[in-house]
């Protein structure tokens, strides 16, 4: 009698922990092997606990521009820079409520938002198109990388740690 109760209690205690580490749907299409994509729930929780800003990408599986944008996330510099953010990937067709909550200028895709740890979308980290400011260059990583670098100042982030930091000079 006690054993099933203990097992049930352990299971219930483990459920919130499992939610913390949820990988986003379609992450493998967006270089999930190298970028730690989260679903919205676990990503927002992680950002609130770690105080790291969020980079949230809204996409759709049927969107040809989204398919092209995926390649940007294979760039080694983007992969390295992504480690300073909580990366959230959201499918607009399966996460309609989230899509509505985070559409400051429309629900177009692909849409890339920079969000502070308190959930506020930055209006300083946008692309050059005034009609679709959260739409970035889908062909080249340069624009995304520039915004990721600018985010360091906007969000007052610590400088990135280099792999050789702390190594003794020869």
Task: Show the beta-strand stretches assigned E in the chain.
Answer: 37-38, 54-59, 86-91, 111-115
Mean pLDDT of the chain: 86
Where do the domains of the chain lie, and which CATH numbers do they carry?
Answer: 21-154 (3.40.30.10)
Model's pTM, two decimal places? 0.82
Tokens (6 digits) for 99 = 């899509």
Q: Quote the CA–CA distance of 45 and 23 in Å, as a whole number.
A: 13
The pLDDT, as a whole number, for residue 161 is 58
pLDDT digits (tens, 9 = 90+) for 139-157: 999 999 999 999 999 999 8
3-state SS, residue 124:
coil
Question: Residues 24-82: pLDDT tens digits?
Answer: 889 999 999 999 999 999 999 999 999 999 999 999 999 999 999 999 999 999 999 99
Up-side HSE of residue 61: CA atoms within 13 Å toward CB? 8
Judge contact between 26 and 39, C-beta under 8 A: no
Q: What angle do CA 115, 25, 126 make, to 5 degrees?
A: 25
Contact (Cβ atoms closer than 8 angstroms) between residue 59 and residue 91: yes
Give pLDDT, residue 159: 78
The percent of residues above 70 in pLDDT, for the chain, comes to 82
């Amino acid at each position: 009698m006690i054993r099933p109760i203990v097992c049930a209690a352990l299971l219930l205690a483990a459920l919130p922990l499992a939610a913390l580490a949820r990988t986003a749907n379609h992450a493998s299409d967006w270089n999930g092997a190298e970028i730690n994509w989260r679903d919205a729930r676990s990503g927002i929780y992680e950002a609130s606990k770690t105080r790291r800003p969020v980079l949230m990408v809204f996409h759709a599986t049927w969107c040809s521009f989204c398919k092209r944008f995926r390649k940007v996330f294979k760039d080694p510099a983007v992969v390295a820079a992504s480690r300073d953010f909580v990366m959230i990937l959201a499918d607009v067709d399966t996460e309609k409520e989230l899509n509505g909550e985070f559409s400051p200028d429309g629900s177009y895709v692909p849409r890339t938002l920079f969000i502070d740890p308190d959930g506020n979308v930055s209006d300083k980290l946008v692309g050059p198109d005034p009609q679709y400011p959260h739409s970035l260059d889908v062909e080249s990583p340069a624009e995304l990388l520039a915004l990721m670098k600018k985010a360091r100042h906007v969000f007052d982030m610590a400088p990135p740690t280099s792999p050789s930091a702390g190594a003794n000079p020869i």
